[in-house]
Amino acid sequence: MNAETRVQPCPVPRLVEVRQNVLKQNDVVARALRERFRTAGVLAVSLVSSPGSGKTAFLEKILTFLHSRFNVAALVGDLATENDAARLARSQAPVKQIITGTVCHLEATMVQNALDGWDLNQLDFLFIENVGNLVCPSSYDLGEALRFVLLSVTEGEDKPLKYPTIFNSADVAIITKSDLAAAVEFDEEAARRNIQAIRPGMEVFKLSSKTGEGLTGFLEFLERRHSHSGAPASN
């Protein structure tokens, strides 16, 4: 052993405190979006669910109904296709597709970019349909005022227990395809119990986009939320 190695202290890593939210960048953009929505008087609502639970059919109905009295628009996330936007365009509301490529969820910057060219002051409602996925979207704030989680009667009553994180992150639960409930022996009471176990007090709607059952109550809820958001009505 030579003298040099003896005096060389063993390098010890330094512990540096950082305390930073990993999704800080997303959260900053989301907060700015929320503020933009608020000042423009837009009620921004996001929709999450597993693939095939009826988000697009639901949105098509809602847009069609609201379109006659309000200014509505929608952004729809999809991995690869523009099919949803084409379907929703039938409602005559402005619709933009966000193709996420391999990304399994929407992020706040995608929403921000998609809004380019739209005057938010002209809108009353903005719907943001997330990619069909009950896992990844839960971590990303999109600046929405309300997050709706959809659960179709064909999926089983225990969906909330299987995906507690996203159900807990949502503000409203919507049970869709109610016209099929009897055929699949959907246990509504169990579904409601499971939803309440994950998010006590969460408002729950049950409806059918096909028959229109339950839509009136839901539309009234939306209008109420819009007027409560203090947003000025547009012309």
Beta bridge partners of 77: 98
Among the residue ranges 30-38, 44-52, 90-98, 163-171, the one whose residues contact another protein (CB under 8 A): 163-171
Q: What is the CA radius of gyration of the chain?
A: 22
Count of residues interacting with another protein (CB under 8 A): 34
Considering only residues 58 to 117 of the shown chain, the ones binding another protein according to CB under 8 A are: 103-105
Q: Nearer to another protein by C-beta: 24 or 228?
A: 24
HEC readout, 24-66? HHHHHHHHHHHHHHHHHCCEEEEEECCCCCCHHHHHHHHHHHH
The SS3 assignment for 101 reads coil
Among the residue ranges 6-14, 65-73, 108-116, 204-212, the one whose residues contact another protein (CB under 8 A): 6-14
Q: Name the nearest CA neighbour of 47 among 233, 218, 216.
A: 218
Considering only residues 180 to 199 of the shown chain, the ones binding another protein according to CB under 8 A are: 196-199
Task: Kindly tell me which residue out of 20, 116, 117, 235 binds another protein, with binding defined by CB under 8 A.
Answer: 20
Residue 135 in contact with another protein, rule: CB under 8 A: yes
Binding site for another protein (CB under 8 A): 11, 13-25, 103-105, 135-136, 138-139, 161, 164-166, 168-169, 196-202
